Structure 1
């Protein structure tokens, strides 16, 4: 009997939607299970924004992969075809936008269950911003306007997630407060430019395209605050 496949998940602090060098996207593809992986972009959090989809296709059609897009606001696939499509992917790449809306739409269409099945089968799950938030048990988000905590997610990764930790005003103190007061479980805060790979739930690799950007482990501390521990990231080749 074949061994269970490794379950892989990557939190991204960049990629085709924010960077021109392609370093994080190339790093991500390098962890796919196939040399020419099938890569599905899921733009639900942006409302399937056409410009976002076009940018993905432009970035990935020139790479050694087979890119595709899963639209849900004008869904074309029935339930059986949707399951077959998602389970055939080597990488599922989730875009940014509104985390709360993303989760609601996925559950309406049963995509949450299918992504878990694909993940258990060895498909690499990854994404930026809302596409990083969605994998945990909770996240730090601006889905409701002001920055706040969202105690909801797919739970493929234990704990919580916070994107844009170094770049958006208020992110750091607000996330630390949410973790420190128990509104969110301990988790991972991602600086822009960072990539963090988890295999079977354990952190195995941290990289960055930005010198000095790091991944933080944020855990409850004293007095309703949280402590953070910076994890050094390997600088990706090609970064100056």
Structure 2
């Protein structure tokens, strides 16, 4: 079984109509019928405006979303396993991962990935799949654990000077870590945990 993760650094449905990277994502499953695509907006504290934008962008598919309250449903694993794609939104990565761990939704996502559900996400939703995250928590940049599906660490928005300097300084302490950096127009497609494409938009 093929496993896919699409790490999106910037752009996407929240900033542009018919975003190329979103069109690319929809082609990965190679299905003719509308795709079941579920949005996870935990990192933005389930911001309703963000969720609404998702539904508008993917209205020709079968869009749905899951809030933090849904993670505790008894059938949550079945719900997520039934999706073609999980799309994780941007925001506060550390907050998101804490909520996932507390509700054991992190395990649900890992199981879904093993069952062939495509994982995708932008910014926080791109960083979270890696072993280690290094990102801002309020004003300070901190290192914390990611889901560990992909080895190493990813820095999105690498064109942002403050973020680039902080990440580069941290990178000097990471002797054996695989590090990826993506500017806002760059994205990575992983197949079976290996990079198969770098998509520039």
- With normalisation by structure 2, the TM-score equals 0.92
1:71 is the counterpart of 2:67: yes
Runs (5+) with no aligned partner, structure 1: 210-240
Please show how residues 21-100 of structure 1 align to structure 2 within 5 Å.
Answer: 21-32=18-29, 34-35=31-32, 36-61=34-59, 63=60, 65-72=61-68, 75-76=69-70, 79-100=73-94
1:180 is the counterpart of 2:178: no
**Greater Cα shift, 123-132 or 185-194:** 185-194
Question: Could you list the runs of 4 or more consecutive aligned residues of structure 1 that deviate by over 6 angstroms after TM superposition?
Answer: none
Partner of 2:5: 9
Encode CA deviations 1:114-162: one digit per residue, 9 max, x unaligned: 100011111111111111111101123122323x242310011110011
Q: CA deviation at 1:78?
A: 5.0
Determine if contact 1:33/1:123 at 8 Å carries over to the other structure.
Answer: no
Please show how residues 125-204 of structure 1 align to structure 2 within 5 Å.
Answer: 125-146=119-140, 148-166=141-159, 168-182=160-174, 185-204=177-196
- For the residue of structure 1 that corresponds to 2:195, the secondary structure is strand
* Between structures 1 and 2, the one with greater helix share: 2
| Structure 1 CA distance for aligned equivalents of residues 135 and 12 of structure 2 | 19
Aligned residues: CA RMSD: 1.7
Determine if contact 1:34/1:90 at 8 Å carries over to the other structure.
Answer: no
> Which structure is higher in RCO with an 8 Å CA cutoff and minimum separation 6?
2
Compared CA separation, residues 33 and 153, structure 1 to 2 (3 A): farther
**Greater Cα shift, 174-183 or 81-90:** 174-183
- For the residue of structure 1 that corresponds to 2:75, the secondary structure is helix
**Greater Cα shift, 180-189 or 18-27:** 180-189
Partner of 1:106: 100
- For the residue of structure 1 that corresponds to 2:177, the secondary structure is coil
Structure possessing the higher radius of gyration over alpha carbons: 1
- With normalisation by structure 1, the TM-score equals 0.78
Determine if contact 1:149/1:184 at 8 Å carries over to the other structure.
Answer: no
State the number of aligned residues. 199
- For the residue of structure 2 that corresponds to 1:85, the secondary structure is helix
Compared CA separation, residues 184 and 170, structure 1 to 2 (3 A): farther
Determine if contact 1:9/1:199 at 8 Å carries over to the other structure.
Answer: yes
Runs (5+) with no aligned partner, structure 2: none
Q: CA deviation at 1:20?
A: 2.8
